[in-house]
Every structure is written in C-alpha cells, then in structure tokens.
Chain A
Amino acid sequence: MSGSFPRTGWRFTVGLVSFAVVVACSGDDGTGDPASPTPTATVTQDAAAQAEEQIRTVFERFIGAVVEAQSGAADDPAALFEGLATDETVEFNAGIASRYADQGIVRVGEPVISDVNVQVVDRSGVVSACMDESAWTPQLTSGEAIPPAEEQLTPHPVVYEVVEAGGSWLIGEAIEPGGTITC
C-alpha cells in the first residue's frame, strides 16, 4: 500500500506532544525549583529555539523537494528527500512522483506556504502550516493544461509530525489537522 494514513497512535503522540507543550510552558512561567539556576532554563529555551529553527528549515526544504519531485525534473525523486524525511514519507512522496511520471502529469509553479508553526517536545513534534496550491498547477508533460480542481484553489492546513534521528530533524507522516487550524 502506498497511501499513508493517520493512525490512532500518531493522534495520541500529537496529543501527548500538545499536552507536554502546555505542561512545559506552564512550568516556565510558574515558580520553578528554587535550587535550579536560571541559566539551565535559558539553555533549554535556546535548545528549543534551535530545534524549532532547524525544523522550519527542514520543512521548507521538504516542501521544495515535494515541488521538485512533482515537477517531473528529477530522475530519482527519492533522492530529493534524503536527510529531510522519514523512510515512509520518502517512499510516499516518491510514489506520487512515480505515478505522475507514469501518467504524464507534472505540476508547475509552487505552493505558497504560510503560518508555519512548530511544536516540539524532546525528540518529536509537529509542524503545521497553511498551503495555498492555487499557483501550483497541474498539466500534462505534453504541455496540455489539466483543469485545476476546485479544492486546489482554496488554502488548506497541512500538519506533519517531525522526529529527531541522528541529531537532525526529519519530516514524518502527514496527520489530520483536526479542525484547530484555519487558513
């Protein structure tokens, strides 16, 4: 099966992450352990900020890889995702690119990504954003236009899980936005 679908497990993980974020935040502004020196908190915050920055960069590059994979320009779409996504997500995206190649479909232009938001706890988290695909148009390799679907013209939320592996962050599965994000 090439389709990748949300699993209850991930929902739980996301819930856990969201909960942990809340807990972590409420811990920050509360009266912390008097014995714990302030610098520790700063270091932790710095690490979190650093992780968030890395995730934003990886996400941006990941979307770039998705666009290139679906543009039909790459011979080996899977290679575009190297170091950016988990094996399953690489396979999933390479699958779409391969099906496009089979059917002679390409997408030209690119989506507009906005409102990127990162939540991370320890070694996993989620990155969410709004995706406007209206300028990322489908066509045939022959140049003939494919009428863009109505759904493509309205910005929609995307949420991906992110995991840390070997010191770097990888984009994992797409998960249900759950109605909390509006675009």
Chain B
Amino acid sequence: MLTPRRVSQVLTAVAVLLVGLLGSIAPGQAAGVRGVDPANDPCYVFIEVSPGVFEYVNICPDPDEDDSGEDGDSGTNGPRCDLTEEPYDEFCLGTKACRADIPSPLPEDEWPPEETRPSPEHIFTFVECRVPGQQEIERRWRWVKPYEGSIPGLGWQALGRLETPAFTMTFRPAGMTYVGADTRYLLDGLGDGDIIGSVAGPLQATGTLSHVEIDPGDGSDTFDCDPDLRSNACEHVYLEMSHEQTAQDLDGRPAFAAQARLVYDVIFTMGGVEVSLPGVPDTLESPWNGTVVPVGEIQALVRSR
C-alpha cells in the first residue's frame, strides 16, 4: 500500500538521486560530486602518465598485501615471496615478487595527493609484480616504500636536490691590490655552512661546507681555504701586475678574474640515521663564482707618500 509516508520517502529518494545525477553531469562540479557520491573512495586517483594522457589508478593495497607495511625492508621474518626470478627480485608485496622503477619516472608534482601517501618514505612509481599461481605480470602505478637495494638511485636524486648558496666574492685591500701584498678573499652569502635538500623518498641529503677552492686567476694553482672566511680569510700574493689582462673592473682597470667555489661534505640520512651509499658521491661542489682583482705595482704606493 502506498501510504503518504511511503510516497514522501520515495519522493525524497528520487530527489536525492536527481541531485546526484545532475551533479555528475554538470561540469566543474567536482567538489559536489565528491560530496554526494557514496563511492567517494580515496583509492582511485587520476594521474597524468604521459603529457595530456590520464589514467585512473587504484592506489590501495590488495588485501593480501595488508601485512606488507614493511615492504621492502629486510624484515625479521624474511621475505614471504619468491625473489629468485629476475627482474621481479627486488622486494615483496605480500606474496608477490616485485620490481619498481626507482627513481620514479613520474615527476613529483604528478603524484597523487599527499594525503594518499602512506608515509613520507613512500614514493609513487611504476611497479611490476609476479603473482604466485598467475601467468600474467601485475603492472600498476602505486605507492611503494623503496627497498634497500634501490637506495643508491634515490641517493643521486637526493644529491641533486641540494642547492648550493649563491655567494659573492670580494677582496681586500678593497678596489685594488698590489704585487707582493697579501690579498685576502672574502665570501658572503654562505649562510651557516649547512645545506639541506628536500627528501627523495626516504632519503635526505645534507651538505656541510668543507672548504673553499680559490682560483686567483693569475695562472697559479687553485688552493683550498678554511670555510669560515669572515674570521679567517684566504690569502694569496700576486707576483705580477694585471695590466695585460683582458678582464676589467668597473673602473676599466685590467684585472685578474679570481673565482671561488664551495665544496661540501654530503651525508645521507634515512629516518634520521646516516646511511652509506656506495657509488654515490659524498661531496658536492658549487658552481664557480668570482670577482675581478686589479693588481698594480707596489711603487705606486711609494710615489704616493
């Protein structure tokens, strides 16, 4: 029997359905759709896998991967999958034997929203797994925690994220120096000497200023200097005038093109603990940056007295 109460329930249901349908048809109403749709499932994300080409991806782990929170780690229970067949021999996802593209071929700004990331150590990349009892290889874009063997690859990425500061170089005596005199070089803009890169998956690179290399520009050898140039400047004695040089200072005086670069010692940390990465450089050099140094004869000083 159709009671008024029943009719009212049906009408309400129809109204809700219509609102849902209209919401899904109207463009630019994504937020509305997400609000109304019961299948508001954070498992499905839309990623740009190639320029202008998008793909929906289920980023939630399969039920049989539930206990794989420690995937990739050398767990105490040993691997639960068979890692003997190349190339699916890198890490286990439950009982699946997998390999992953590391570093990820997808730039980070194309990765799914941060709230879907299981932990800061996870990276979003293309993973291929051999599933026991299944002929076909499972291929999927997904969040994975990089396994131990993939860390050097990420080390290079972390190293690339270290930015050396843009410093300036000056010298004393200011403006012009003289043959035989002590010329002191000063660098500004070094900060506190430490540089910290943004994280690459689970890895972070930190650089500590080790020393400065100075090229006086007069053909003599490059030499190393103490990093704290403000209190302990590097010195060099020019043995010839710069009058034949092509470089000029702001006043048009011929000058030596002196330059410096910063050399950092780099360490990598994972979860705050330092790790050693064979094959990845443990130093980083900044680009050369310099100034022009006009060098005159000391007699000029004598005449001026």
Interface residues of A (CB under 8 A from B): 1-6, 92, 95-96, 98-100, 102-103, 105, 107, 131, 133-134, 137-138, 144-154, 156-159, 173-177
Contacts and interface: CB of A to CB of B under 8 A. Distances in A.
B237 to A, nearest CB: 47
B105 interface: yes
Given A146-B41, A147-B39, A102 B139 contact: yes
A3 B50 contact: yes
Contacts of B56: 100, 105, 107, 138, 146, 149
Contacts of A152: 30, 46, 54
A147 B49 contact: no
B154 to A, nearest CB: 17
B139 A157 contact: no
A6 B41 CA distance: 31
Contacts of B45: 149
A154 B28 CA distance: 7
Given A99-B139, A176-B51, A1 B105 contact: yes
A107 B56 CA distance: 9
A93 to B, nearest CB: 9
B50 A4 contact: yes
A-side interface mostly: mixed
B58 A1 contact: no
B167 interface: no
Given A4-B49, A134-B27, 18 more contacts: A3-B101, A6-B51, A96-B49, A99-B57, A99-B139, A103-B57, A133-B54, A147-B34, A147-B41, A148-B30, A149-B46, A150-B31, A151-B46, A151-B48, A152-B54, A153-B27, A153-B29, A156-B52
Contacts of A99: 55, 57, 139-141
A138 B44 contact: yes
Contacts of A146: 39, 41, 44, 56
B101 A144 contact: no
A1 B126 contact: yes
A102 B52 contact: no
A157 B56 CA distance: 18
A111 B121 CA distance: 36
A95 B141 CA distance: 11
B226 interface: no
9 contacts: A1-B105, A4-B49, A100-B56, A103-B140, A144-B39, A145-B37, A148-B46, A149-B45, A174-B53
Interface string B128-161: 0000000000111100000000000000000000
Interface in B7-55: 24, 27-31, 33-34, 37, 39-41, 44-46, 48-55
Given A3-B49, A174-B50, A103 B106 contact: no
B126 A177 contact: no
Interface string B81-93: 0000000000000
Contacts of B46: 148-149, 151-152
Contacts of B138: 102
Contact of A159 (B52, B101, B139): B52
A152 to B, nearest CB: 6
Contacts of B48: 151
Contacts of B51: 6, 158-159, 174-177
A147 B55 contact: no
A4 B48 CA distance: 11
A51 B41 CA distance: 45
Contact of A147 (B40, B52, B126, B141): B40
B24 A137 contact: yes
B50 to A, nearest CB: 4
A144 B138 CA distance: 23
Contact of A1 (B24, B31, B37, B101): B101
A149 B24 contact: no
Contacts of A98: 139
A12 B197 CA distance: 32
Contact of B53 (A107, A154, A158): A158
A173 to B, nearest CB: 7
The 10 closest A-B pairs by CB, nearest first: A149-B46, A150-B30, A158-B52, A174-B50, A103-B58, A176-B51, A146-B44, A147-B37, A138-B56, A4-B50
